[in-house]
Amino acid sequence: LWAVVCNAGMNDGGEIFWTNTDIIQRVIDVNTFGVVRVTKAFLPQLCKSKGRVVTVTSAASLYTYGGMAPYCMSKHAAKSFCDGLRLEMYRFGVKVVTVEPWMFKMSRDRLNEAGGRGRLRSSREEPV
**What is the predicted pLDDT for the residue at 13?**
72
Higher confidence at residue 42 or residue 65? 42
Q: Is residue 65 part of a domain?
A: no
Domain that holds residue 54: 3-60+72-99
- For 8-76, the DSSP string reads -------SGGGS-HHHHHHHHIIIIIHHHHHHHHHHHHHHHHT-EEEEE--GGGT--BTT-HHHHHHHH
Q: Across the strands, what pairs with 99? A: 56
Average pLDDT over residues 60-77: 91
**What is the predicted pLDDT for the residue at 95?**
98
- Phi/psi at 99 (5° precision): -115, 130
**What is the predicted pLDDT for the residue at 127?**
47
- 85-124: pLDDT as tens digits: 999 999 999 999 999 887 665 555 655 665 555 454 544 5
pTM: predicted TM-score of the whole model, two decimal places: 0.79
- 2-43: pLDDT as tens digits: 999 999 899 987 889 999 999 999 999 999 999 999 999 999
The CA R_g of the chain, rounded to the nearest whole Å, is 16
Report the CATH number at residue 95.
3.40.50.720
* 84 three-state secondary structure: helix
* 89 three-state secondary structure: helix
Q: Give me the number of domains the chain comprises.
A: 1
Q: Is residue 10 part of a domain?
A: yes
Q: Is residue 12 part of a domain?
A: yes
Please give the Cα distance from 95 to 102 (Å, whole number). Answer: 23
H/E element holding 113? helix 105-113
* Catalytic center residues: 71
